Amino acid sequence: MGSVNPPKTDTDPATGRAYLRDILKTKPIVNNPIKGRIEVDTERCKGCEVCVVACPTQTLALGAEVNTKGYRPCYMAQPEQCIGCAACAMVCPDSCITVYRAQRA
């Protein structure tokens, strides 16, 4: 019988700490008092998918609809998962994501 190893996480080379996305895969946020929400300027979004990869809670996805430029903009596929961390807005190269935070009811 082999030993069971915990899931491997990537670490930041500068700090040696695990990335938030890897921590959340093994330890989900429970009872977070903050509810996040984003708005995407769909005409400016070019569907580069950087925000989708940066989201630690896998909230975002690319839509099926295309904008007037022919790109598939991102949207909140799982809005209940959003924690308002703003990782998506920080990495967006076109600054087309606005993040809102509110207390959960």
Q: Contact at 8 Å (CB) between 81 and 28?
A: no
pLDDT at 75: 97
**Domains in the chain with CATH codes:** 33-103 (3.30.70.20)
Residues of the chain with pLDDT below 50 are: 1-2, 5-7
Between CA 18 and CA 96 the distance in angstroms is 28
Question: 84: phi > 0 → left, psi -120 to 50 → alpha, else beta; which?
Answer: left
What's the confidence (pLDDT) of residue 82? Answer: 92
Give the pLDDT confidence score for residue 18 in this predicted structure: 66
Q: Name the residue with tokens 């990537």.
A: 10
The answer to whether 69 and 46 have CB atoms below 8 angstroms apart is yes
